[in-house]
Structure formats: C-alpha cells, structure tokens
Structure 1
C-alpha cells in the first residue's frame, strides 16, 4: 500500500514537472518571438528614418543590401 502511494506520488510529480517544462518552453518561445518583433520594428524604423534623411544618396543596391542583411540577421536570432 505504501509503495503504491509512493509510486502514484512519483507519477504525479513527473506529470507536474512535464507541465512546468512545457510552460517554460512556451515562455521562452514567446520571449524569442517578442524580441524578434522588437528588432524587426527597430530595423524598420531605422530604415525609414535613414531613407528619409539619405534619399538623395541611396540607390537600389543599398536597398538590396539592407534587405539581405536584415534576413541574415533574422535567421541568426
């Protein structure tokens, strides 16, 4: 009887640990997504401000470079 209760308690503890691990993984994923969105928003803002201030000096090559560097950065995060 004591062994059965101990096994049931152990099983409940394992289930609780699994739930906690899943919650931690979800929270970590949410933080990662939020950080990526913040970085993306900041890059968009900087690009817009730069384009407004440097329009006479920018060309298509600069736009292509910016877009490519942004995608490379997004995949590294």
Structure 2
C-alpha cells in the first residue's frame, strides 16, 4: 500500500484525522531520501498543500506580526 492509499484509509477510518502510531514506530521512519520525498509529495497532494517557498514564509511572518503579535498579553514570552 502506498502512502496516499494509507492516508485515504486513515482519513476514512478516523473522522478526527489523527493517526495513532506509537512514537517508537514513527521514529523508525526515515525523513530523508527519495522514498520520504515521494511520501511527502503524496500527502501534500492528498491534502491540497504545496511545498513552502521563501515568499510564503515571508507572508506568514508578516501575517503573524500583524495578527498574532499585537494581541499577545504576556510580554515575558
């Protein structure tokens, strides 16, 4: 089963969308290499995301500065 099929199965079986994987099992999955890149691509496509860009990083930083920072009530953080 490829990762896209697994993702669809999980989404269909679990309405909350959470994956119950023990941390020890997840730690065995390598996050580098062609297979991991392929899995990330499949997951992004299934969920409607795209790889981030420098422009999207800047846009997020600007949004956080305008929308989140001004409402922070605890100055020590």
TM-score by shorter chain over 0.5: no
Bigger CA radius of gyration: 1
Q: TM-score, normalised by structure 1?
A: 0.25
Q: TM-score, normalised by structure 2?
A: 0.25
Structure with more contact order per residue of length (Cα contacts < 8 Å, sep ≥ 6): 1
Q: Report which of the two has the higher share of helix.
A: 1
